[in-house]
């Protein structure tokens, strides 16, 4: 398919979420992504469920659109040779094995760059490839705990996991950024390089203001539920028929919001942000007393008219039926080889000059014969195969 990365070949040795999500983004952007999977089993997420759709894991479908699949046993000399022939022609290789596995498979980074000096290698690990705990296996939930995310999430005193694989997805987006930077540098140097990221690095780098609360101010952040530690009112509030979100992030918004909630914007208790934050519980009680007079739809209309940021708390099904979601290309229809037309979450980027139209996630080894035939054709055109 066409896209900004049209013409790039990506060899995807990754499994589960972080690596596959990164290579899915590259596929969305137009790269040709060849996913290498274990014969008979494939990516382990092919077996993760329920839910399954006619035997197909919806988990696997979530991060493998736009790819081709070839099944290769990397311990088999013939299949190992096929992989090296792909490496010779690739622009990017992505792997997320534990540290040392690539070397044991005869795929050390030195060997790969010897075969193809222009190759960009992206290595995604759980906790980093070196350091005192480098090489630890890193699943998303474990890293959310180790990297401090759970300590600032959930009700007070109850560390909670984010309901998405956020460590994996952050690592995936950092991987994409690193790959694109290395490809840009390759235009100047003519050489690829090894780029690394990890789930730990990606979560710590995303701490933002929670990190500097400790590194600069010496304050250890704690979980506050849906409240913001530095801004009030900012979070979830109860109205006559349920909950809504309100974000009063500056003084101008406060002065528009306060009269709607029956508050005096110049009340000395709340006039300045530090006072509102210090009296958060008292302020919330007064706001919810006012909100109890009308349903959510009424309040959202009033806040929108006044320029006060507010919103619903939607369930996942409501998000995907929301007209705004669909207007942004965030739901795509693809034709799956086994399931027929299905809807998937769409890419987050839009380009005025390219219509990103992802294809369906592949069946295991769906493109194996075609990929081998393509390699043979390339070699018949004069390129020598690489020894396995």
CATH number of the domain encompassing residue 49: 3.40.50.10540
Task: Classify the phi-psi angles of 52: left when phi > 0, otherwise alpha if psi is within -120 to 50, otherwise beta.
Answer: beta
Question: What tens digit of pLDDT does each residue of 187-228 get?
Answer: 999 999 999 999 999 999 999 999 999 999 999 999 999 999
Is 352 within the bounds of a domain? yes
Which residue among 263, 296, 314 closes a domain? Answer: 314
Q: Is the domain of 50 the same as that of 13?
A: yes
Q: Is the domain of 101 the same as that of 141?
A: yes
Q: CATH number, domain at 302?
A: 3.30.1540.10
Is 221 within the bounds of a domain? no
Which residues of the chain have a pLDDT value below 70?
1, 382-388
DSSP letter for 381, please. T
Q: Is the domain of 250 the same as that of 292?
A: yes
Q: Look at residue 378 in the predicted model and tell me its pLDDT.
A: 86
Task: Tell the residue number behind the tokens 């304050």, with chain if given.
Answer: 219
Q: Look at residue 368 in the predicted model and tell me its pLDDT.
A: 98
Which residue among 260, 293, 314 closes a domain? Answer: 314
Q: Is the domain of 82 the same as that of 119?
A: yes
d(CA 59, CA 346): 15
Q: Is the domain of 198 the same as that of 271?
A: no
d(CA 19, CA 101): 15
Q: Is the domain of 200 the same as that of 250?
A: no
Is 213 within the bounds of a domain? no
Is 218 within the bounds of a domain? no
d(CA 333, CA 341): 6
- Retrieve residue 98's tokens: 């534990």
Residue 296 near residue 303 (C-beta atoms within 8 A): no
Is 227 within the bounds of a domain? no
Q: Look at residue 104 in the predicted model and tell me its pLDDT.
A: 95
Query: Where in the sequence numbering do the catalytic residues fall?
Result: 168
Q: Is the domain of 100 the same as that of 246?
A: no
**From residue 196, how far is each of 14, 179, 185 by CA, in Å?**
14, 9, 16
Domain ranges, residue 297: 234-314
- For the chain, the straight-line distance linking the first and the last C-alpha, in angstroms and rounded, comes to 31
Enclosing H/E stretch for 368: helix 368-380
Q: Is the domain of 116 the same as that of 140?
A: yes
d(CA 198, CA 172): 9
Give all strands of the β-sheet with 9-12 in edge-to-edge order.
Answer: 67-71, 32-37, 9-12, 92-95, 120-125, 194-198
Is 294 within the bounds of a domain? yes
Q: Look at residue 385 in the predicted model and tell me its pLDDT.
A: 52
Question: What tens digit of pLDDT does each residue of 79-90 get?
Answer: 999 999 999 999
Q: Is the domain of 14 the same as that of 122?
A: yes
Is 219 within the bounds of a domain? no
Q: Look at residue 298 in the predicted model and tell me its pLDDT.
A: 97
Q: Is the domain of 40 the same as that of 106?
A: yes
Q: Look at residue 359 in the predicted model and tell me its pLDDT.
A: 94
| CB-facing half-sphere around the CA of 63: CA atoms within 13 A | 23
3-class secondary structure for 138-197? CCHHHHHHHCCCHHHCCCCCCCCCCCCCHHHHHHHHHHHHHHHHHHHHHHHHCCCCEEEE
DSSP 246-292: EE--SHHHHHHHHHHTT--TT-TTTSSHHHHHHTHHHHHHHHHHHHT
DSSP letter for 202, please. H
Is 34 within the bounds of a domain? yes
Q: Is the domain of 168 the same as that of 49?
A: yes
d(CA 169, CA 174): 9
Total domains in the fold of the chain: 2
Q: Is the domain of 21 the same as that of 121?
A: yes
């Amino acid at each position: 398919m066409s896209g900004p990365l049209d013409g790039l070949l990506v060899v995807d040795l990754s499994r589960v979420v972080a690596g596959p999500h990164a290579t899915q983004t590259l596929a969305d952007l137009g790269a040709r992504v060849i996913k290498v999977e274990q014969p008979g089993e494939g990516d382990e997420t092919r077996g993760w469920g329920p839910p399954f759709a006619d035997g197909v894991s919806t988990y696997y479908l979530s991060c493998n659109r736009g790819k081709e699949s070839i099944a290769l046993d990397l311990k088999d000399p013939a299949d190992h040779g096929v992989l090296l022939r792909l490496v010779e022609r690739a622009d990017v290789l992505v792997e997320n094995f534990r540290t040392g596995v690539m070397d044991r498979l005869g795929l050390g980074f030195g060997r790969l760059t010897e075969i193809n000096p222009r190759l960009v290698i992206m290595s995604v690990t759980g906790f980093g490839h070196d350091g005192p705990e480098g090489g630890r296996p890193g699943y998303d939930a474990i890293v959310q705990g180790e990297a401090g995310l759970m300590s600032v999430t959930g009700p007070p005193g109850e560390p909670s996991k984010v309901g998405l694989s956020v460590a994996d997805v952050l690592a995936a987006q950092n991987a994409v950024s690193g790959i694109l930077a290395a490809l840009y540098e390759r235009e100047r140097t003519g050489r690829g390089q090894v780029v690394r990221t990890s789930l730990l690095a990606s979560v710590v780098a995303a701490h933002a203001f929670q990190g500097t609360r400790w590194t600069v101010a010496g304050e250890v952040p704690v979980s506050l539920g849906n409240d913001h530690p530095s801004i009030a009112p900012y979070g979830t509030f109860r109205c006559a028929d349920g909950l809504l979100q309100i974000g009063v992030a500056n003084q101008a918004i406060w002065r528009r919001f306060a009269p709607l909630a029956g508050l005096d914007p110049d009340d000395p208790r709340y006039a300045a942000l530090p006072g509102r934050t210090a009296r958060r519980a008292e302020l919330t009680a007064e706001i919810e007393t006012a909100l109890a007079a009308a349903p959510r739809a009424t309040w959202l209309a009033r806040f929108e008219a006044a320029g006060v940021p507010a919103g619903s708390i939607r369930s996942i099904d409501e998000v995907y039926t929301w007209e705004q979601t669909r207007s942004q290309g965030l739901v795509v229809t693809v034709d799956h080889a086994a399931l027929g037309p299905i809807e998937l979450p769409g890419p987050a980027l839009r380009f005025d000059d390219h219509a990103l139209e992802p294809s369906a996630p592949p069946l295991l080894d769906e493109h194996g014969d075609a990929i081998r035939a393509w390699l043979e054709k390339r070699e018949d055109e004069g390129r020598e195969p690489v020894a396995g």
